[in-house]
Amino acid sequence: MPVFTRSLHKICLKRLSTLLFSIKATMDTSKLKILCLHGYRQSGEHFRKKMGGVRKLMKSAADFEYISSPHIINSDEDNEPADGDPHAWWFTNEETNTYDSKEFESKCFGFEESVKFVESVIREKGPFDGILGFSQGACFLSLLCCLQQQGRLQGSFKFAIFSSGYLSRCVAHQNLYTDKLGLPTLHIFGETDTVIPEDMSKTLAEFCEEKQIIRHPGGHYIPSNAHFKDPYLKFLQARLAEKMDSPER
């Protein structure tokens, strides 16, 4: 091959490589990557199925990764059927491996293991732009936000989405709730939620400085009807804009 041809070939390959890198960078920032934390007595797969309609509303702005907590619940906990493969992020009763969101317990069991597990997920499957949590998963997320803000979390994320969220009432967690959360947050909760009453979710929202609130007339779920598409995308598109402007891009 003549020298001129070889040089032209190298130039073309270099430009092609630059173009492919630019396309990949654009693809990496065209959507948000969100880690999802399920609720008590759920699993990652169960939560994924439950969020099917919600994902469709958000699909233009985000992709989702679902995981199951490292703690399995006893299937004979009570007479109610478990949600498929039941898990919890921690327990308030070590003997029975059960959890009560409304009790002021002195200890929580399994919390540190769950934090280490999420750190490993961020390390192996991240980075994640944000984290979404439902019910106990949202409570867990509030604590992860505190750990990150205090420089005590291995891994990072830029925003949090809480659905049916609340502050932990475990005494062992109270030292984490020192300063209000400064990262952007979205709070989704139902006016008729009897599992996590609206007031508990409002208290969490008040603990966050930069927040958007979406209230719906229903109960303990993330609404998936088209009425909520615009407010969901309003929050996500703002985070996308921040991501595009970030020097870390």
Continuous segment of H or E residues that includes residue 113: helix 111-125
Residue 20 in domain: no
**pLDDT (0 to 100) of residue 246:** 76
**pLDDT (0 to 100) of residue 49:** 95
Gap between the terminal Cα atoms of the chain: 40
220 is catalytic: yes
135 is catalytic: yes
How do residues 169-207 score in pLDDT, each as one tens digit? Answer: 999 999 999 999 999 999 999 999 999 999 999 999 999
Separation of alpha carbons 247 and 249, rounded Å: 5
Residue 6 in domain: no
Residue 150 in domain: yes
For residue 24, pLDDT beyond 80: no
Four-residue CA torsion sign, 98, 120, 49, 130: positive
**Containing structural domain, residue 193:** 32-244
Q: What is the mean pLDDT of the chain?
A: 88
Residue with tokens 């630059």: 18
Question: What is the number of other CB atoms lying within 10 angstroms of the CB of residue 84?
Answer: 13
Residue 65 in domain: yes
Residue 56 in tokens: 């469709």
Residue with tokens 């930069």: 210
Candidate list 135, 142, 168, 201, residue with the active-site label: 135
Q: Residue 87's domain is classified under what CATH number?
A: 3.40.50.1820
- The count of domains in the chain is 1
How do residues 101-112 score in pLDDT, each as one tens digit? Answer: 988 877 889 999
For residue 25, pLDDT beyond 70: no
Residue 225 in domain: yes
Question: What is the number of other CB atoms lying within 10 angstroms of the CB of residue 95?
Answer: 7
Question: Which pLDDT band, with edges at 50, 70 and 90, does 51 fall under?
Answer: very high
Residue 114 in domain: yes
Candidate list 173, 193, 201, 224, residue with the active-site label: 193
Residue 85 in domain: yes
Between residues 100 and 137, which one has the greater pLDDT?
Answer: 137
193 is catalytic: yes
Least confident of 7-11, 53-57, 138-142, 222-226: 7-11
How do residues 133-176 score in pLDDT, each as one tens digit? Answer: 999 999 999 999 999 999 999 999 999 999 999 999 999 999 99
The candidate with the shortest Cα–Cα distance to 47, out of 114, 112, 135, is: 135
Q: Above pLDDT 90, what percent of the chain? A: 75
Between residues 125 and 21, which one has the greater pLDDT?
Answer: 125
Residue 14 in domain: no
